[in-house]
Structure formats: C-alpha cells, structure tokens
Structure 1
C-alpha cells in the first residue's frame, strides 16, 4: 500500500464504421481479433484486454469467424477479454433515452451469454454524457464510470468526481487525464515501440523506411488512405525510463496520487504483444513505481480503498463542456436526414408498434419476439456515434440509411400484423356486413381528441358523394372534405390473385372524438348523399355550416390561437388566452459554414442572410371548420459555396459571389381546438458550405432554456459556462434537444415541438429568439489524425444537396414547461393517433372500444411499453422529469394479476400492490420507474 502503482489497461477504441465503410473496417477487425485471441490464449503475462465497452465487435467478428465463439467465451469467462456493457457505442443526443436502455440491455445479455459483462461504465465515446447516466448505471448495478468527452477541468479539477443525476443517484467517476483513453498509448507506446514522441510533431511516414504499405492509384480510388500491411517490430528499451515517467506524470491530476491509470490503446489500435515486456521494463526503470497490467474493475477497487469521498467534487447533470471541437458540439445537425429517419423509426417502434403488440400478447396473441428483435438489431447498429451523425464517407451514410429503412419497414409491418390480429378478435356484430369501418388507435397514455387527415375508400357501386362518420354511441363526428377521386386498389389474398377493388377515395379531415388512453375505438362510415356518376353538367354541390378557420389568404383563427401572415413570409401569433401577440415569427437565416463534421465555424468573411429580405408567395391551401393551412414559399438567393484557397484551417475562407436559389416552402396548419400551430417546412438545398436556421422569436426575457433530454428536461444557461474572464464558446450555446425546446419567464412560455430536429439555441437578442438548426452543409473531411485528414472533395453527400422536410409545432403556454404540459403536447406529434380502414368481422371476443393502459398524471412521461424479455408479461417504463415528486396511477385495461418494480435490465424487484388493474405510484423528482405486470 505504500508503493506507487501504475495500472496499465490494454484496450482499443473500435468504431464499427468511421474512416472506412463497414466491410473494410470488418476486415481490419478480423485481423485484430485473430491476433488478440492468440495473444490472450498464449501469453499468461497479458492480464486482460478491454474491448472498448461494447459487444458488437464480437458479434461482427463471429459472423465471419463463428468457429471461434468458444475461444472467445473462454477468454471472457476467465476475465482475459472484457466486453460490454454496451452493445454498440451510440452517440447519445441524437437518439432517445429508451434506445440507450435497450442498447445496454442487449449488450449485457450478449456479454452474459459469453461469460459476463464489464461492471464498469466505460464511456469514452459519445459526444457528451447524458445527465441521467448515474441513475441508469446505478439501477443496473454499476457503481463506477469512466466518462471522457466531456467534463471541464473547471467542474472537475482532478480526474475523480462524484457524478450526480437529477434524482440524486451518484457514480464515482473518472474523466481520465491528459489524452484521456490514449495517455499510455501516446506517452509510453510511441517512444518505446516507434522511437517517436507523438506530441513533438515528429510523427510522420517516411517512404521506404517506416514500413510496407500500399495505395490504390486508379482514378476511382486514389483518394483513399494508404494501408500499412506489416507489423511494427521495433522496441527501444532506452526510451522506457523517460516514457514511463512522462506517462506517470501526465496523470497527476488525481486525488489518489499513488494509484494511477495508464490507458494503453487508441482508435483502431492493435493488442500490442510487447505490452507485458514494456510493463516489466518500466518496473526496472522506475523501481519506486509498480507497473502492472490490470482491469478497470481493479483500478476502481483501489481508488475506493484510498479515496476520501468527502473531498471529491460533485458534478451535476450532463457532461458536455467545451471546447466545441473537443465535444463535437455541432455534429447534431450534420447530415440531419439520418437523425430524422432515426426519430421516425423510434416513434414507430416505441410509440406505436411495441405498445400494441405487447398489449395484444397479454390478450393471448403471439408476440413476434424474433421479428421485433431483428428490427432492434438494425436500429441499434444505426446508433454508433459516427454512424448516426454521418461523420463518415458517403457510402457509410448509405449503409446506415439502409439499416434505418429496414428497421422502419419491420416496425410498420409488425404494426400492421398487430392491427390484423386485433381485427380478427373484434366483435363487430353490431355492424352490417357491408359497413365501412375505421379503427382509431391511440398509443398515448391519455385520452386524445385530434383532427386527423385520412383517406377513406367507398365502393364505387355506392356512388357516395358525401360521407359521414359516426361514433359508437351514434354521435356524428365532424369532417371537412378535401377531395374525391376514383381508384382501383389491389386487395392481397394469400389464396388467390390480388382482387381489384373499384373505389371512390375521399380525402378529408376527421375530428376523431375522444379515443381512449392506450387503446382504440371503432367508428362507422356512412353514405350521406349519392350522385350520378355519368353527369358532367351541374353536378351536386356541397353545403357548409361555415365557421371556417381560415379568413382570406393570410389569416387563421381558432378558440386558442390567431395567426396573421405578413408579406415577408413571417407571421404574427396571438395566444388568445392572454392576448399576447408575438410578431414577425418564423423566418430563416442562412450563413456560411466552413467547419467540419464535428463543429460549426463561420468563415472569416461571413454573410448572414435573412429570408425577410425576399418576397414570399402566400396562399390558402386548405380551409374549413376543422383545419386551415396557409402555404408560404420564399426563394432566397444565397452564395453557391465557400472559397477556401489552399488553407485547411477551419473558419478560413469566404462565401463566394455567385448566388443560387434556395427555395423554402412552409405550410402552417391550425386545427380546431388545437393549442399549437403545426408547421411542415421543405428546403430544396442547392448551396454548399452553409447553415440554415429557423428563427422563432418568443419576446420572453430569460437567461435559461429547457429541452427534452434523456428521461429528463435539461435546464441550461443561454450561453455555455463562462471562464474566470467571463468568456465562453459560442458554438457550445447550440444545445441538444429531443421532442421539444422551451423558453419561459415563469409567467409565459414558448415551446417548439418536433419529431425531426436535434439542435437549438436561445439567442441573446432583444426578442429571446429560439434558433433551430435545420441543416449544415459541409465538406467531406474525416479527422484521421490531428495533422491530416481523409478528404473526399468529389463526394458531396455531406453538402446535403437534396430536399429536406421538417415537421414541428409552435406552442405558446402559461408558466414553465411543466405547468404548460409541454411533454404531453409534444406527444401529439410523436405518438399520433393512427387510422385504419377495416371491413366486417364476426365472432370476435374483444369490444369495439378499449383502453389497454393509462397514466392519469401528464407530468409522468411514458418511455415504453413492451413485452418483458423472456417472460409472458408486460413491461412499462415511465419517468418524472419535473423537480418535485409526482403522484399518479397506471391503469391497465388488460387481464393482469401481479405487478413488480423492476430495474432497467428487467430484474424483478419489490412486488407492487395491484388494485382493480391499477398501480398507484409516488415518483420522486428525476426518477425512472420500470413496472412489470403479468
């Protein structure tokens, strides 16, 4: 205990795909894993190897080398190969908190099949750390974390700190030291193995001297990297003493001075078979320090024995401190279409498909476990930090979009299969054989009433001119007709050829009436008026009761909001509950971006161009008593690209003089009784090297913003943390968000709800403007090493030369986000009611109206409902993002008999009282709760 100890951890950081596409990287993985397995099996001095906190590397390897599964399992069981707890290494902020939990569940299960998972939360990937990680890790039994990227030295002066979640959960955490996960690699490996000092600018390839390499020289591949094919065999023992001392000294920012962690690995680094010899030589060179190979588990055990916790600083909340380039702050808006598709998949999986399939499984239907598992596998493999952000070659982006599209199709297919299973079980005997029916499904845990746009087919033989919709109790539901057209639709039949179905298709807006929480109802379509199909002159005309929402071409109004569009394409929004009007809302700003995938840089000679300087075409597109839509088209003239010269430094350059047309079309929709204004915007991007942001003035003066995060709402300053001189990084003021961001002064609030955005900023202007990043168009450069890039100037995928669509809503409210029930309002965009047209079915046992689950407190947010892994039971997860304890009841309209409070990896805990199908909960602030019912 009196001797200083240096614990050397052998590891690698293995991006599943980054600098190279998936199969090139897989080839490198096979070479690496073959080598690693041989070393670990044959060198008893090689204590262990940390496989980067993930398990997908093993999964990928075994797809090509399945014969080596037993060898790997033996190494994992022996503690020689340390895997997990993650499956893939996700970037956090572009994906949901629920996906992080499913990733950990998958990684832990896979690792346990091999022999056990790493009990340390090793998280040196991800560009920032979510505030709820201490609670998530503690809940599954992990009590220590390594979290580099990114907590500042101002908050954590030494490596060790107590990381605290919103609910008060704590983790003893290390941020490592200089060069974080690479300190031993750069300071010890480079001098001893390569006779080189990495940070002395001597590291460079010498042709014919350094090693054997090849480079594709043909016109299609010459931009690719060189590849070395031989292994380094040098060993410079004379450098050991200085290198070992320097490595030890550079970990001096620690509260445990005699017990230091030396991480010997790097991105794509090999196992280094010389490492045990290096450790032995370090002991000879510095006898006052004991160097030995070890694991992270052993390191934290020693820290716990030596550390006085009372002197350890406490760090609250998310770890996402500057510099922006070190925190990869602005990759959130890079290749935004990947994040948009991911959010679409997440909503299909967790807000629609899983809840219905799991509910039906409690009613005796088969749960498609393997089918759903295949979809999750595609989704989780889309989440590695480089993949989800698209900071890669274009081919990798195509691959990742493929995965997400496969997951999307699987999710939609299983949802349709679940609808079919429900249809077979419905007792529709109260309806006629030829009735046309609609199944309205509400996945939200509260009753909803919405105006939805639907298309209803009626048999052409009925000559239906005007139709109506009737609720179960005979109440007429309001509709607003849009179009009627004639179609021939195929009807698939497994025992025949597709049947032609001749129909009249009626597109309309439908007031759904109330749909039960977490359930469904059946409504009937009726033919209100027929017509003579052959008549060409003076056909039947439609009547109207008036009460249109739209007034003229530039104004809309319902019971809660009034919208007046201005000639420059902005609009004035009035909250009728308090008479407050926000003028000149919703304009766009375009400026140069000469940065990289990871951080935004404005060029030296920037131009910030506003859409308000261009005329707009404005029209009323839909109008009626249920919904009105105004279209606004603005064509901005913006610089075509940036001019860099030969300088690669970010921020250099200017916007060029040549201009191109940038067309932006927004459709703003106001529905009856809606408290938010819906917007769909489409950008036809024709320019390079720029950033487009949407500006939403709030006229609220506040120093803080709030945004939905991972099982919490993140409360952040208007600027990032200032240093002792009052300075800050402006790019770090661009904040992550999931389904909403919000500004409030305590009396009034303004939220932007969305299902497709990731980054916003509350500006320091006189109007409290929320600026939402819509896209970044940037060069295709990959940071291979700090002095050299892999560059693909002819690959233009990162320039986003395409049409990008967005859906969001503007929601003025009283009080703060919690008082304004902003989370529940955001659900209306992310868990929309779904409408399915169905035909008659007799002999079922299920009612035409049902609620499967409900939560009676909108402050408690539903995260997921699914079937418990390996058991015939239902798992429901919710969380309390507010700052106070919330009381609530979860009611199940399903045949349930027992309930338990589980942890996040679904281990049963205490049994809960279940009374009349309901569980009463008292949920402390910031707490995540998982309930199992059978």
Structure 2
C-alpha cells in the first residue's frame, strides 16, 4: 500500500495578467475564510501559504488586527509559512537577491513564530544547480520543486541533489505540478476516478511508496472538505492510505528510501514548460533589475558600511525596503516579463523607484563624507570610492559641470592627475540646482563627461582628489589619427566592414568579431519561437559610418549601421525589407586593461523580431561556461535531447537558449573569448555555428501568450492577450564587454572581469546640492580603508548584519577550480558565517567552486 501525503496549499501569484491590487483584495477574503475554517475545525490543517511571507505582509496591510490569529495558527503548526520572502526566480535574478530573499523570509518567520524549513519552489521556470547550496546555507535540508525535471536528468522523482560545492538536499519533484489535485470533489465516489488517475501519474517515476498529493491552485480557496473525503476513501479501497500531512512528515517517511545523487540544473521541458524565452523577454526590465541589484549590493551597501564605520548612521530599514520592493518584482512571472502590459509597467516602476531611493542614499552619504573631510588642497573635493576589498588603480567615469575652459585635478599631495574628456555639452544649471531654479536668467556651464586616472585607491574605502577650476592642466593630452585601437594586450582594426581583433599575448585573431543578426520571432512573452520559414538579416554590408577617437587614457571606435529589415512577420515571410534597424556601437579600449567595452544603442522600429550580437570564440569545443548565482556552470553546446523532443511530444523545445547572470565564455583550456554583460541575461549557441556565442540584445513580441508555436506546440501559455509594450519600441541601450582569454581562467582574467563588473565610482562635491542637510560635526580622514581582503574570490557585498552591530563581507568563487582565500584584515572580531548570518560554520581557507564565503566583522569597541 502506498502512503499519500495530502498537502493543502494555495499558490499565490501577486501579479500576472492581473495586478497586485487585484490579488491583494482577493487575499483579504481568502485569508478571512482560511482563518475562520482553521479556527472552527481543529482537525483541519496544516495549510501551506505558498512558501512566501510576502503574502502575509500584503494581508496585514489590510487586516493588521488579525496578526495574533495568524501567529496562533503558525505556533500550532497548522499554518506553515516561509522560508522565502517571495517565490523568486532563480535563473534571472542575482545571487544577492536570492540570499536576501531567504534572509528576509527567515526574519519574517521569526517574527511570526516558526519557519517551514523546506525549499518549496512550486513554479520557478527552471531550477538552478545552486539551489541546494542556498538551502543548506540556511539550514534547510529538503526541497520540493516543479518544472525542469525529466528522466533524462535523473530517473526518479526523489533524489539527493548536490551542488558543486558539496551541499546536498533531499529533493522531491511535483511531477504534475502543484495543481494536479485541485478542486477535488468532496463525494468520495465522484472524486475517486479522477484522483486515482492523478495518483498513478504521481507514482510513475517514484522510487518510494510515499506520494505527494498537492491540493490547491492559483489563488484558489481552501478546499476544507477534502480531508474528510480522503478519510472516507481510506475505508473504501486498499491501494492507497491517505494522511493529512506536510512536507516535513513526507520527508521523514522518505528517509528509509535509498536515493540517487544528482548534480546540475533542471531545465528539461519534457513534462512541463520551462519557458526559455523569459530570459530575454522585456530585456529593459531585466536590465533595470540587474542594475539595481548590482548597485545596491556592490556600491551602496559598501559605501553605507564605510560611512557607518566612521560614525554616520546606517539606514538599514530604508535598504531593506529597497530589497523588499525589488523582490516583489522577482517572481517567475514578474521578472520574466510574461505579464500584461499594465503589470510589466508596475514591475519596472518598482525597480526604478528602488534605484531612485538607492541613488539618493548614495548621493547623501557621499555629501556627508565630503562635509567631514578637511581639504588638503585648494579646489572642490572629488571622492573616489572603491567598493572592492583590495586596493586598486583604475579609470573613473565622472561628470563635471564647469564655468570655464581650464581645469585641473590634483591628489592630496598636489600632484596633477590625468584625465580625458569623453563628451562635452552645454548644461542649464537651473534644472539641476534648486538655488538657481528661480533665477530670471539661465546659467549655462560646460557639462564634461571625463575619464579620470587614479592610483592606489584604498580597499573598501576612498581617496580625496581636488578639482581646481580655472587652472590649466599640466599634462600632455595626446591624440592620434590612426585607425586602430591598441594597447599592450590587444589590437583592434576595421577591415572593410569587419571588426578584427588580435590578442598580442597569444597571436590569436578574430576576423569577424561582431556580427549583428536579426531574425523573426513568432513567439510570445514566454517563449522565443522562430517562424517556420525564418529570414534573418545581418549587419554585413550595412555599415554607414566608422569614426575613431583617441585620447590620453582610452580610444574608441564608433560604428553606425543601418540594416534594411522586415517590419513585421508577414514582411519577413514575403522577404520584404521595408524597415530600418539603426544601430550604433561604441567600442572602447583603455590603455590599462585587456577588455573591450561595448555600448550599443538600437532604434527599435521593428515588430516580432529578435536581435542578437554574434561573438566568435574561434575555438573548437563541445562545451561552454556561463555564470550562475555564486558560481560557474558548464553546459553542452547542443542539448542531446534536441534529437528526441518532437518524437516524444515534449511540451517545448529544449533549445540551446540559456540563462546567465552576466557572463558566457568558450575556451579550449587556454584560448577563447568571454562576454560579460550588464543586465543581458540570455545567450544561444547556434546549432549551425557551435563556436559562436549569440547574446540576445532584445526580443520584441506582441502577445502575452500564443498557441501553436513551432518550438512550443499546443495550447497557449498564460493568457492570449495582446502585449504591445513587449515589442519594446524606441531607443534601447545595452552594455557588454569582451575579454579575450589567452590563459583560460587565470587570476589575471578573473581580475579583469571583476573590475569591469564593479567599477570605481567618483563623486564631485560641487557645492551645489539638490537637498540640504545640517552638518553632522564629524571629522573624517581624506583617505580611508575600512578593511582589506586580498582574495581571488569575487566581491559580492559589504553590508550591515541583519542583527547586531556588525558588518557582513561576502565573496564567492567565480571559477571552476577551488581557490585558497585567507581571512580579511580588519580591526575587528572576525567569524565565518553562512549566508543566513545566524549559522556559524568552520572557517576554512580552501573555497570550492560555486561557493560563497561570508565573514561577520564585529568592530572592537574601545574603552
């Protein structure tokens, strides 16, 4: 006899084709009904509130008086909450976001009573290979997931899932999803035929006699009559024994079953769609989210930590609010962009609002730092901030507003700094400075965007430079008329309309470094799907202009293409080029780095198309690498299941479209190419060109869901609703970098990647501020370092601890080999902790691949 564990739940999408306002009103009545029924009948429960505490946060906004009722049911184990704050996506959002999601979910559960210690992930569009690591770092030993599994991964629906760092959790798949037993009849005779069919499918790949029966669905009310119906079925048949259960009891019953070990990600769409197109849908939302995540974790929080160490307050609740609002945009539908246009606008607005708050926090803290620094030279202070925990030289992008032509920038000793003007315009200062807004006369200044060469900026700290207006610079600003970008590592030229790159270290040559490729997209917001007879156009022969710009610190090649292209899918079918795709690209090579920086601008006037940039690796390899949350993953170029998916009637093609955090690379063990992006989350390895990394710049579609697509046959996903905003009309911008590899994953290579991801930041104390604050009467040094960590690990964050007067410093192993990393150097008490910040771990110097390392840094209180 098989034991069937009844799991009663609701799956709560906060938004989708409906808004968060719609769902929050419904939530009020849902919770009222749920609480009343659980309180009226103590035999009912436990009930799982979708594994996310944001549901209760939303509810308490409307019914704060019911908090104690909820707490009583949580304490009794009849209402199960957490461990997540929101049901986050794992393939598109960043590692710090996933960490904070669990951290804030843990905090909410502590405030309400207890946490469901199960990694419940009912509807993420594919599963990251890093999920076991995240769960173990929060003392969670079990996972329940849907989407992404098939027997091609591991033969049974119960297994031990292990991340590359060695973390392992017992995992159960919901083979038919969280809604397979929804809306059950309460009469046992009527319920039995459909229920027995469901249970046969649940058991088809099970290695155990323990089965999960998830009873609930999207925003569905509590099916309170089901437990009694199953009790009746226990007396009427002998195949199954039904028990009122939860995941903890299910896994306890599973303990005696021997389970296989599985390593890797789960992206198979054989039994359930994983919607591979969401990696590139609404790329503008993806970029906005990535920039907010990166800015908060790798610039704002480190600056606030430095300010706090000097005596300024740390606005922890403000930062937490920014994270919470961002996470409301991180659910699979929300960040996937597979929503109505109205919802996508809300998702993006949350992220933009978070960026505004974060930018203002950064601005005010820089202003307060500058106010406490005693000037060592004449002029306006420029603070150069280095978030990385190691000293560095480099170039800083800085915007200056200048009343006249001449200016100089000097360091604390009065030595002149080198700079280069990248762009200059005229600026009406009255639209920037509040004090000038009521002036009857406009005040125009030069607006200069410059690159500034700086040296020895302290680790996790800052240095102060000085802008001296009216003082001529005393260095030679060299220029050149040559048609080449060149430094000691790389040489880039233009041969005809092809960009040619040579790595001077190895002699390796890339003859057609950049190719823009535009093809049709007959898909929807869930899936890219090429037209049955696609016609692709490329940038070959479409280069209109090439302009070389040379300076003292960097050189740039400006390229402008005007590509004749079909306006619509019908035009593409007719081979009719009646539209233009105007694209510009600025390729910059600094004199200090073996990295090509690329900024792309697209005037998107086409519909139902996908634009990619094809970057050659010029190596022969069957595998490639991409980054994943806190790690690197190795993938085959062409999934072998592409040969069988149509014969086996899969729900979706297992196309070689892949997610990345920001990086994809292909090498042969020594030479190759790496692409690093700022918010672009998707790449493809074309079947006919396996040495190419095709990075998606944007994807334009006009429907939320469509039926009968070549790569996703059958019913429509979601709702068949028009989504014209998902065409992303108008001007679109993207940033990426190319890092040629001459010694595979060398320390030099990884340093180049990290420094591009986390640049130095400059801030000018112009004396004009949008907002005024009273002086804080604190004195700060002109140069300061909070701590130092000479580590090959990549920097993730430096932040205030969730609890206590301490900081958390975190790094992670970016590569595929284990690394040796010493402890940080700081005038503080150091202890290594897990991502949870609450669980102590044994300190170790060797860090496995795909592993984060977190240090709790408690300042030593003097006196």
Check whether TM > 0.5.
yes
1:561 to 487, 490, 493: 490
CA drift of 1:815 comes to 2.4
1:438 to 378, 382, 388: 382
CA drift of 1:423 comes to 1.8
User: Do 2:156 and 2:207's aligned partners in 1 also have CA atoms closer than 8 Å?
Assistant: no
User: Do 1:427 and 1:844's aligned partners in 2 also have CA atoms closer than 8 Å?
Assistant: no
Are residue 707 (structure 1) and residue 626 (structure 2) matched? Answer: yes
Distance 2:206 2:420 in 1: 69
User: Do 1:256 and 1:303's aligned partners in 2 also have CA atoms closer than 8 Å?
Assistant: no
2:813 to 880, 889, 904: 880
Distance 2:82 2:9 in 1: 13
Distance 2:579 2:364 in 1: 47
Corresponding residue SS for 1:250: helix
Are residue 602 (structure 1) and residue 533 (structure 2) matched? Answer: no
Are residue 593 (structure 1) and residue 521 (structure 2) matched? Answer: yes
Once the two structures are superposed, residues 798-852 of structure 1 have per-residue CA deviations (whole angstroms, 9 ceiling, x without a partner) of 1111221001111112222x31544432333332211111269998643222222
Matches within 5 A, 1:302-451: 302-304=253-255, 306-308=256-258, 312-323=259-270, 326-428=273-375, 430-432=376-378, 435-451=379-395
**Unaligned residue ranges in structure 1 (runs of 5+):** 194-234, 531-541, 645-652, 913-919
Distance 2:116 2:197 in 1: 29
Are residue 640 (structure 1) and residue 567 (structure 2) matched? Answer: yes
Corresponding residue SS for 1:776: strand
Are residue 109 (structure 1) and residue 37 (structure 2) matched? Answer: no
Distance 2:366 2:499 in 1: 41
Distance 2:558 2:76 in 1: 65
Are residue 510 (structure 1) and residue 452 (structure 2) matched? Answer: yes
User: Aligned pair in 2 of structure 1 residues 655, 104: CA closer, same or farther (>3 Å)?
Assistant: farther
Matches within 5 A, 1:120-135: 120-135=118-133
Distance 2:138 2:616 in 1: 43
User: Aligned pair in 2 of structure 1 residues 32, 405: CA closer, same or farther (>3 Å)?
Assistant: same
Corresponding residue SS for 2:317: helix
CA drift of 1:698 comes to 1.9
User: Aligned pair in 2 of structure 1 residues 39, 79: CA closer, same or farther (>3 Å)?
Assistant: same
**Equivalent in the alignment of 2:861:** none
Distance 2:124 2:752 in 1: 29
User: Do 2:489 and 2:594's aligned partners in 1 also have CA atoms closer than 8 Å?
Assistant: yes
2:416 to 456, 476, 482: 476
**Equivalent in the alignment of 2:5:** 7
User: Aligned pair in 2 of structure 1 residues 678, 307: CA closer, same or farther (>3 Å)?
Assistant: same
**Unaligned residue ranges in structure 2 (runs of 5+):** 709-713, 768-774, 859-863
CA drift of 1:655 comes to 6.2
Distance 1:488 1:686 in 2: 32
CA drift of 1:112 comes to 2.1
Once the two structures are superposed, residues 316-335 of structure 1 have per-residue CA deviations (whole angstroms, 9 ceiling, x without a partner) of 02222234971211210001
Matches within 5 A, 1:740-755: 740-755=663-678
TM-score, normalised relative to structure 1: 0.84
User: Do 1:603 and 1:655's aligned partners in 2 also have CA atoms closer than 8 Å?
Assistant: no
1:932 to 853, 856, 863: 856
User: Do 2:208 and 2:254's aligned partners in 1 also have CA atoms closer than 8 Å?
Assistant: no
Are residue 616 (structure 1) and residue 544 (structure 2) matched? Answer: yes
1:693 to 584, 608, 612: 612
**Equivalent in the alignment of 2:35:** 37
**Equivalent in the alignment of 1:735:** 658
**Equivalent in the alignment of 1:270:** 221
CA drift of 1:775 comes to 1.3
Corresponding residue SS for 1:388: helix
User: Do 1:427 and 1:843's aligned partners in 2 also have CA atoms closer than 8 Å?
Assistant: no
Q: CA RMSD in A?
A: 3.0
Are residue 17 (structure 1) and residue 31 (structure 2) matched? Answer: no
**Equivalent in the alignment of 2:578:** 659
Distance 1:699 1:397 in 2: 39
Corresponding residue SS for 1:513: strand
Tell which structure's C-alpha radius of gyration is larger.
1
2:589 to 670, 675, 690: 670
User: Aligned pair in 2 of structure 1 residues 494, 121: CA closer, same or farther (>3 Å)?
Assistant: farther
User: Aligned pair in 2 of structure 1 residues 772, 361: CA closer, same or farther (>3 Å)?
Assistant: same
Corresponding residue SS for 1:618: strand
**Equivalent in the alignment of 2:463:** 521
**Equivalent in the alignment of 1:141:** 139
Distance 1:7 1:835 in 2: 58
CA drift of 1:680 comes to 0.5
Once the two structures are superposed, residues 434-485 of structure 1 have per-residue CA deviations (whole angstroms, 9 ceiling, x without a partner) of x222111111233333233433345x4xxx5332222234433222245666
User: Do 1:324 and 1:599's aligned partners in 2 also have CA atoms closer than 8 Å?
Assistant: no
**Equivalent in the alignment of 1:71:** 69
CA drift of 1:141 comes to 1.2
User: Aligned pair in 2 of structure 1 residues 413, 626: CA closer, same or farther (>3 Å)?
Assistant: same
Distance 2:283 2:436 in 1: 44
User: Aligned pair in 2 of structure 1 residues 456, 382: CA closer, same or farther (>3 Å)?
Assistant: same
CA drift of 1:517 comes to 2.3
**Equivalent in the alignment of 1:183:** 180
User: Aligned pair in 2 of structure 1 residues 655, 394: CA closer, same or farther (>3 Å)?
Assistant: farther
User: Aligned pair in 2 of structure 1 residues 790, 712: CA closer, same or farther (>3 Å)?
Assistant: closer
CA drift of 1:380 comes to 1.2
Once the two structures are superposed, residues 282-306 of structure 1 have per-residue CA deviations (whole angstroms, 9 ceiling, x without a partner) of 21321453212211111111111x3
Distance 1:439 1:923 in 2: 34
Distance 2:644 2:427 in 1: 69
Corresponding residue SS for 2:306: helix
Q: Structure 1 stretch 110-119 or stretch 825-834: which is displaced more?
A: 825-834
